[in-house]
Amino acid sequence: MARSKARPPLANPTQELNLLARDLDLTALAEKLPDLLAMAEQENLGYTDLVMRLLRVEMRARQERRLERGLRRAHLGSVEDLDSFDFSQRPNLEPRVIKELCTGRFVEEKRNVLCLGKPGLGKTRIARSIAWAVCQAGHSVLFVNTAAMLEDLQASLADGTYRRALSRYTKPALLVCDEFGYEPFDAAATKFLFRLVSLRHRTGSIILTANTGFKAWKNLFPSEPAAVCTVDRLIDGATILRFTGEGFRVPKEILGAPLDQE
């Protein structure tokens, strides 16, 4: 096995440090090295402080790149600042609870969050904001439309990619399932959903947004036992957020009766 030849030393130490940093994949350090060395000379930094500063620059850059990759893979779409959310219009929603969820501790504890309420009350917005904060905390996140996810799993059976597709939804630390129960599930979808929820139970977290309360969920499944088993795993240790009040988008005259209270 041929050995790679060592790079001959350069006359300019700064240039050699730059090349060595690039060889070691310390790209941020290499880019900022001249400025950092000049700053260190001006501040008369000791060797330890200089090395610490150089490594911190590289570490921050890597953390930023990791976060950018995580946000791209999460597919969160547009995320609005929670500071602009009008909690006074949601009497059953406590800001302190949302702030606690944004710490990501529920993900570390493998617990779920269920957002229940009629359309236009801000469920998806809150779910996205929490997921964004969780991603900022360094956890892997995936945001999906529930129906599209189930269709993807069903299609994967036909082309032989089911295991890979299932892994796509079980691997992230947090899976956000938006618009759960927008339409009834058929028998095949119920099977996929139950397996996914079971595989993630106490191994990964789910945020779920639904336009109906638990009493109506039995109408989404082909059988009541299927509904009970799925719901049982979803609500085990879960935080349940109830969105009530007038919709941000929906006119009063079509809001209808209040969401069933369980």
Length of the chain: 262
CATH number of 75-254: 3.40.50.300
Provide the CA 225 distance to its chain's centre, in angstroms.
Answer: 30
pLDDT, tens digit, for every residue of 39-76?
Answer: 888 888 888 888 888 888 888 888 888 888 878 999 99
Q: Where are the alpha helices (DSSP H) in the chain?
A: 13-23, 27-43, 47-74, 95-101, 105-108, 123-136, 146-159, 162-170, 187-200, 214-217, 224-235
DSSP assignment letter at 15: H
CA distances (Å), 52 to each of 29, 57, 60, 174, in order?
Answer: 12, 9, 12, 34
DSSP E strand boundaries for the chain: 113-117, 141-145, 174-180, 205-210, 239-243
CA distance 202 to 233: 9
Contacts of 41 (CB under 8 A, 6+ apart): none
CA distance 53 to 108: 31
What rounded mean pLDDT belongs to the chain?
86
Instruction: Judge contact between 136 and 216, C-beta under 8 A.
Output: no
pLDDT of residue 165: 96
Full-prediction pTM beyond 0.75?
yes
Determine which of 6-15, 93-102, 148-157, 210-219 has the lowest per-residue pLDDT on average: 6-15
CA distance 19 to 29: 11
As given in the structure block, the two tokens for residue 148 are: 């599209």
- For the chain, the structural domain boundaries read 13-73, 75-254
Determine which of 65-79, 113-127, 160-174 has the lowest per-residue pLDDT on average: 65-79
Name the band, by pLDDT with cuts 50, 70 and 90, for residue 11: low
